[in-house]
């Protein structure tokens, strides 16, 4: 497939040039002292009093040439490892929602660690999803186990690569230790890490924070998988014009990417964004807007220019229920991103932008993910598939339904959905007039009332629980 | 924008070659005698006994080189005229559903002429829609007024171009006469026709019917606007492989297009498809499937090769309610088509594939149409929009919310939706937890309880009603 491009090649070069100018003239406010030292040691002009880092053109150009074109996510089961861009589209759940729609009452409440266990199990079983980015927070987390209460139920119930963040270094160290135990030791873990780290160290406009930046610098140095997402919000934290916001976000990506190369040359990274345009009628945050898709397309084109994998939080919705809005917002922006060559999609399971997880939404998004995976295959061409002999044989006015060719190709030509109804209205009415959300929730229940194949061995679990006293149970509980 | 391409240039040429081979070797079953005569008079080999027409390569090549790149839809008010591809995406309602979801009871029933009047009024007011293809049939049509009972309420309530079909020549002549009266005479009508004709004369595989083919040949000869849609359904009426179905459908498009050029050189046409892949688990007809979008993309690429406008029934859904499925099926396939350079979208207002019209769906599709119209604009580039001075002025850690630049660009940068909620969950809950369908139906009601600016003058209406005795009232009736 040749991807759609929104920008001319000249415009791409101009955005790059503008980003260079921003980094060189305006600079970045770098609140993390260690990061400032890294920039200073690699040719940048650092004003310590104002924590301002200006990155000269030649420094950006030198280090961005070290970017590598691939990024691999690794999981408990190496069969689920995924490499960008080769395995695109790689589909990731949306992450870190504070709330969940209770599956029994349908009412929103705070999410807990056992919700995370359920969600991890579900994502393990839904083949549209490749990576489990831990979907919610855990309101029941014991003191000092904020992150363990998320990573433990996630890793315990999912063989696919798990991705998430941590609020500070202490939590990061705990989570890594959890990983070492699961992997059977630090060496084995470093050989094949099963946690994939993700942060938002850049706070637009042009600022790097303290804690997330600390985590990124540490993990980069340790050669553990980590990448950052850039989140400019046009009209509030970046210019209202799309091209202005694009240049700013692109400069921010370069600052972070270049810093990682200074720490460790050829560190894999992802050009990942959640680049939005605010609804200035109210100042509302609107990741479901079509402008989010447009910005993702443009950022993907810049990623192609730098020859790095492209990804982002794309496919979020502002809807609070699984209505038509939830469907078209997720569907349109992911389709636009796919056709612009986005490799990685953070898209599954959230309603109300990033505020709440919903089981039915996750199952619906799995189906959208499968449609994207069908779409990327496009029209597969071969002389055999062209079937000119068959067209002659069936002739004008004939029927292809019973030909061997039809039976041989019916499964490879089409994606067969589980959630979408294809019944006639009469049949659908007789079956109870269920909408997509009701059918999706039923499918979640079918999956989550089976045995979970991902659960830890007793031995591993005992080691973990004896190391981290008072840990949440980490067990899926749909049967309750 | 550079559009996405699914096929390599080599594959495009091979599809064209394969189509030539199909027309030359396999041929078309042409049931209409007049059409057979046209083919025979222009170098084709016609077997009258079997109604088989074989079109030699050089004949296809000669006449397809007469294809012109534009097609104009004309309406009662010339301000609403739309020309492909210049005005793309041109958004058309879905058409000819037998049923409607009753707006009061929510129950499906047969549609009537007064439903058509209501729908025409609604489409006149929704700015996402460019063309009103008459959405339903009229169950209350008097004997011998099947088509008048559709066109009269449509034209009476809508200033935008009206598009539809007729079942046979008698109805076509009545409808044209209706048009002449509205235009103030035949001459004025021919100068600026206000009906745009559409047929499906090709019945896959490789067959041309009697009645629709008759209408197309007549209208082409009369230089009145007409085009056809090709509707192969892979696995049933065309090969199960996408590339095989593409070659067959492309051959069918060429047969029809070439015939029109034989009748009238440089007749404007549209390469329009409703090219589907059947769900062979049940044989179900599934225009909502992602394969419909893939086929539309591929056909658009072929249309670009022939340098003709590209269109189709794209954005239909198999859903029976305005649920997530209805949203993602319409949203994904229209987005895919847009990014592959489709110019014309038959997409609005239908549920259950082509079976039933729904007011809420029409309003939701209007919003999707507006999102597509925003998407095609992409990232508008200018040095002013790049706003480098502003980025320097606001600096790291600043805020763009109150800058003049933000206020100046907020309306041009973003599309502001009416249907999509952007409220926080608490606000949305307090406002009654309305889903997109409820909000959309409310918007339809707001529009349809105002005065209709499109209604005919009394004089015109009297002329029409005295010419066609017993005509339906043609009045919108939401107030009832």
Q: Chain centroid to CA B360: how far?
A: 19
Closest partner CB to A380 (pick from B242, B247, B378): B242
pLDDT on residue A479: 59
Are A247 and B394 within 8 A, CB to CB?
A: no
Each residue's pLDDT tens digit, B87-104: 999 999 999 999 999 998
User: In what side-by-side order are the strands of the sheet with A195-199?
Assistant: A90-93, A344-348, A310-312, A271-273, A226-230, A195-199, A162-164, A132-133
pLDDT on residue A477: 84
Query: Chain A, 259-318: which have a CB under 8 Å from a chain B CB?
Result: 277, 279-284, 286, 288-291, 293-295, 297-298, 318
DSSP state of A457: P
pLDDT on residue A143: 93
Mean pLDDT of B379-387: 95
Please report, in angstroms and rounded to a whole number, the separation of the first and last CA atoms in chain B. 47
What is the interface pTM, i.e. ipTM, of the complex?
0.98
A379 and B CB contact within 8 Å: yes
- Phi, psi (deg, nearest 5) at residue B28: -115, 140
Average pLDDT over chain B, rounded to an integer: 97
Each residue's pLDDT tens digit, B249-267: 999 999 999 999 999 999 9
Per DSSP, the residues of A6-29 read SS-HHHHHHHHHHHHHIIIII-EE
pLDDT on residue A451: 92
Best B324, B327, B442 residue to mutate vs chain A (most A CBs within 10 Å): B324
A243 and B CB contact within 8 Å: yes
Mean pLDDT of A19-27: 98
pLDDT over 80 (residue B478): no
0.95 surpassed by pTM: yes
Distance, CA of B264 to CA of B262 (rounded, Å): 6
pLDDT on residue A93: 98
Mean pLDDT of A300-325: 98
Q: Chain centroid to CA B149: how far?
A: 21
Each residue's pLDDT tens digit, B409-468: 999 999 999 999 999 999 999 999 999 999 999 999 999 999 998 999 999 999 999 999
Distance, CA of A43 to CA of A38 (rounded, Å): 9
Would you place residue A170 in the very low, low, confident or very high pLDDT band (cuts 50, 70, 90)?
Answer: very high
Each residue's pLDDT tens digit, A111-127: 999 999 999 999 999 99
pLDDT over 60 (residue B65): yes
Nearest chain B residue (CA) to A387: B244
Distance, CA of B403 to CA of B426 (rounded, Å): 30
- Please give the angle made by the CA atoms of A471, A475 and A478, to the nearest 5 degrees: 145
Closest partner CB to B205 (pick from A291, A340, A398): A398
Are B386 and A6 within 8 A, CB to CB?
A: no
Closest partner CB to B205 (pick from A1, A361, A396): A396
In A28-112, DSSP assigns E strands to: 28-30, 45-47, 52-54, 71-73, 82-84, 90-93, 99-101, 108-110
Would you place residue B163 in the very low, low, confident or very high pLDDT band (cuts 50, 70, 90)?
Answer: very high
- Please give the angle made by the CA atoms of A319, A322 and A327, to the nearest 5 degrees: 80
Are B392 and A246 within 8 A, CB to CB?
A: no
* Residue B313 to chain A, least CA–CA distance (Å): 17
Each residue's pLDDT tens digit, A176-219: 999 999 999 999 999 999 999 999 999 999 999 999 999 999 99
Share of residues in chain A with pLDDT > 70 (%): 100
Closest partner CB to A386 (pick from B18, B298, B409): B18
Would you place residue A146 in the very low, low, confident or very high pLDDT band (cuts 50, 70, 90)?
Answer: very high
B400 and A CB contact within 8 Å: yes
A210 and B CB contact within 8 Å: no
pLDDT over 70 (residue B30): yes
Query: Chain B, 176-205: which have a CB under 8 Å from a chain A CB?
Result: 203, 205
Distance, CA of B309 to CA of B68 (rounded, Å): 9
Best B31, B202, B283, B323 residue to mutate vs chain A (most A CBs within 10 Å): B323
A21 and B CB contact within 8 Å: yes
Each residue's pLDDT tens digit, B294-313: 999 999 999 999 999 999 99
Would you place residue B211 in the very low, low, confident or very high pLDDT band (cuts 50, 70, 90)?
Answer: very high
pLDDT on residue B479: 60
């Amino acid at each position: 497939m040749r991807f759609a491009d929104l920008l001319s090649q000249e415009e791409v070069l101009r955005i790059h040039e503008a980003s260079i100018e921003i980094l060189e003239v305006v600079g970045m406010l770098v609140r993390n002292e260690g990061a400032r030292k890294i920039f200073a040691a690699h040719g940048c002009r650092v004003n310590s009093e104002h924590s301002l880092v200006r990155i000269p053109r030649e420094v950006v150009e030198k280090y961005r040439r070290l970017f590598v074109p691939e990024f691999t996510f690794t999981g408990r089961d190496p069969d689920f490892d995924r490499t960008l861009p080769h395995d695109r589209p790689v589909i990731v759940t949306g992450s870190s929602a504070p709330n969940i729609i209770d599956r029994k009452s349908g009412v929103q409440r705070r999410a807990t660690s056992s919700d995370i266990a359920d969600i991890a199990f579900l994502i393990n079983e839904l083949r549209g999803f490749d990576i489990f980015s831990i979907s919610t927070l855990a309101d029941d987390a014991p003191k000092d186990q904020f992150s363990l209460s998320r990573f433990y139920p996630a890793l315990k119930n999912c063989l696919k690569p798990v991705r998430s963040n941590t609020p500070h270094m202490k939590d990061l160290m705990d989570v890594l230790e959890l990983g070492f135990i699961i992997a059977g030791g630090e060496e084995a873990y470093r050989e094949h890490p099963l946690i994939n780290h993700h942060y938002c160290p850049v706070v637009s406009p042009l600022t790097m924070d303290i804690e997330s930046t600390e985590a990124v610098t540490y993990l980069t140095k340790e050669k553990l998988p980590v990448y950052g997402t850039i989140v400019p919000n046009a009209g509030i934290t970046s210019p209202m014009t799309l091209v202005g916001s694009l240049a700013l976000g692109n400069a921010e990506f370069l600052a972070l990417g270049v810093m990682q190369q200074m720490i460790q040359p050829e560190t894999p990274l992802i050009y990942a964004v959640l680049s939005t345009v605010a609804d200035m009628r109210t100042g509302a945050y609107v990741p479901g807007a079509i402008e989010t898709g447009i910005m993702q397309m443009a950022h993907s084109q810049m990623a192609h220019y730098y020859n790095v994998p492209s990804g982002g939080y794309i496919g979020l919705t502002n809807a609070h229920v699984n209505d038509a809005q939830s469907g078209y917002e997720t569907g349109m922006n992911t389709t636009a991103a796919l056709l612009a060559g986005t490799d990685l999609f953070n898209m599954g399971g959230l309603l109300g932008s990033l505020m709440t997880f919903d089981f039915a939404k996750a199952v619906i998004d799995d189906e959208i993910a499968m449609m994207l995976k069908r779409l990327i295959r496009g029209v597969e061409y071969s002389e055999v598939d062209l079937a000119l002999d068959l067209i002659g044989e069936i002739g004008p006015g004939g029927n292809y339904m019973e030909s061997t060719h039809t039976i041989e190709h019916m499964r490879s030509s089409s994606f067969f959905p589980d959630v979408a109804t294809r019944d006639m209205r009469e049949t659908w009415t007789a079956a109870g007039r269920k909408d997509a959300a009701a059918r999706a929730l039923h499918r979640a229940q079918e999956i989550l009332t089976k045995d979970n194949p991902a659960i830890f061995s007793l031995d591993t679990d005992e080691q973990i629980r004896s190391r981290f006293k008072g840990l949440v149970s980490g067990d899926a509980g749909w049967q309750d």
